[in-house]
Amino acid sequence: MTLQQCRYLVGISTHGSISKAAEAMFVTQPSISKAIRELESELQLTIFQRGSRGVAFTSEGLELLSYARMLVEQEQNIRARFDPGARAAVIRLSVSSQHFSFAAEAVSRMLGAWGERSYDFTFLEGKASDVVGQVSGGVSALGILAVSSLNHEFLERSFAAQSLTFTPIAALGEHVFLGQNHPLASRSVLSVEQLAPYPSLTYRRDDAPLGFAEDFAGLRNSSRVVYVQDRGTMDDLLVRTDGYNIGTGCMSDELARSGILSIPLAAPWEIRIGYIKKNAQVLCAEALRFVEYLSESVHRAMP
C-alpha cells in the first residue's frame, strides 16, 4: 500500500468518479484504475462496486477510505510543518508567561498586527517554574516573568544553571490586588500586618519550589492560602471574596472594569518585569516585535 494509492482513494471520494479524479489530479484514468486494482489485490478486498453509473465504495472500501484520509491529512500536516516553502510563509512563535493581563494585551496587539497573514502562535500561561522550564526546554522562545527582590537570587541561579538571560523591562514596588468591596479597599497604602487576617490568593502550588513563589509576603504572613491555576479564577475570587493577591500592580483596562483594585504595599521589595531567553538564541524579528508590544503594554498598565 502506498501513499499515492491513498491519495487516489481520497480523490475518487472527493470527485465522485475515477475519471473526474484523474482529471483533477492530472493523471490518466487507467493509471488510477490500475493502482486501485493492485491495492485490492494486495489487501484481498473489494474497494468499489463497479456498475453502469460508475463506482461506489463497499463497506470495506469506506473503512479503508477513512484510514487513507488520515494518512493523507498527516502527510499534509508534515509538509505544512517541515516543508521549507511552507515554513517561510507561516509565522511561528511561542511565548510563555506568568499570569499577567499586560502579556495578554501584548498578544492581542501582535495578532492584530499580523492581520490576514498565516501564523502559528502559542501563548502558555503558568507559574514562574513553568515559564523557566518551557524556555529552557525550547518550548518557547520567550518567557515573561516578574522577579522580586525577595527571590531574585534564587531565580538568577536558576537562570544561570539553565543558560538563560533575563532582560528587565520595568521596575516597580509590590502592590496588592483586591476587590472593590474588600474591607481594605479604601486604604491608599497597605501593610503586611493589615493583610494577615485575610485569605492569600496565589498561583503557587505545593509542588513548586518556594523560590518560585509569586507572592512571598502573603505566603509568610497569612494562615489561609488559596492556590489557583488560571487568571480567570484569580480575578473571580478577588471580586467575590475578601482574598488578596500580591503582584506587580499593573492594571489593564479590562481588569480595572472587573472591579479589581491595585493598592501599593508598604514594603521595601521591588519587582522587575522582564523576559528570559536562551543565552545563545538570537530572537527572530517577530519575537523582537512582540517584546516591543510587551514593553508598551507594561508601561501603559503600570500603577
One-letter amino acid of 38: E
Q: How far is CA 25 from CA 11, 19, 31, 35, 36, in A?
A: 8, 10, 11, 14, 15
Q: 285 with 220, same domain?
A: yes
Q: Which residues contact 276 (CB under 8 A, 6 or more apart)?
A: 131, 132, 135, 142, 143, 145, 159, 164, 165, 166, 167
Q: Which of the listed residues 85, 114, 144 is the one where a domain comes to its end?
A: 85
Q: Are 274 and 87 in contact (CB under 8 A)?
A: no
Angle between helices 3-15 and 18-25 (to 10 degrees): 120
Three-class secondary structure of residue 54 per DSSP: strand
Q: Give the CATH number of the domain where residue 56 resides.
A: 1.10.10.10
Report which DSSP code applies to 142: E
State how beta strands 200-202 and 225-227 pair.
parallel
**Judgement on whether residues 167 and 253 belong to the same structural domain of the protein:** yes
Instruction: Give the model's pLDDT for residue 123.
Output: 95
Structural domain containing residue 268: 91-301
Give the CATH number for residue 152.
3.40.190.290
DSSP sequence for 236-286: HHHHHSS-BEEE-----HHHHHTTEEEEEB-SS-EEEEEEEEETTPPPPHH
User: Which amino acid belongs to residue 258?
Assistant: S
Q: How many domains does the chain have?
A: 2
Both 45 and 185 in a single domain?
Answer: no
What is the helix (H) or strand (E) element at residue 130, kind and residue range? Answer: helix 128-136
Give pLDDT, residue 63. Answer: 87
Torsion of Cα atoms, 222 then 228 then 229 then 234, to 10°: -100
Q: What is the DSSP string of 158-227?
A: HHHHTTEEEEEEEEEE-EEEEETTSTTTT-SSB-HHHHTTSPEEES--TTS-GGG-S-HHHHHH-S-EEE
Specify whether 217 is located in the same domain as 179: yes
- One domain, residues 51 and 105: no
Residue 190 and residue 70 share a domain:
no
> What pTM did the predictor assign?
0.65
Q: Grid coordinates in use for 88? A: 517561510
Question: For residues 135 and 283, is the Cβ–Cβ distance under 8 A?
Answer: no
Do residues 129 and 278 share a domain? Answer: yes
pLDDT for 211 equals 41
CB of 298 closer than 8 Å to CB of 167:
no
Domain end call among 37, 66, 85: 85
Clarify whether residues 23 and 136 are in a common domain. Answer: no
| Residue where a domain stops, chosen among 40, 58, 85 | 85
Instruction: State whether 66 and 120 are in the same domain.
Output: no
Residues 65 and 120 grouped into a single domain:
no
| pLDDT digits (tens), the chain, 303 positions | 899 999 999 888 888 888 888 898 889 999 999 999 999 999 999 998 877 667 788 989 888 988 888 888 788 777 766 776 655 577 889 999 998 989 999 999 999 999 888 888 999 998 888 899 899 888 899 999 999 887 888 888 889 998 999 999 999 998 999 999 999 999 999 998 999 999 999 876 543 433 444 454 444 556 788 988 888 899 999 999 999 998 888 988 777 788 999 999 998 888 999 999 998 888 888 999 999 999 999 999 998
| Cα Dmax for the chain | 88
Judged by DSSP in three states, 98 sits in coil
Residues 213 and 235 in one domain: yes
283 lies in the same domain as 155: yes
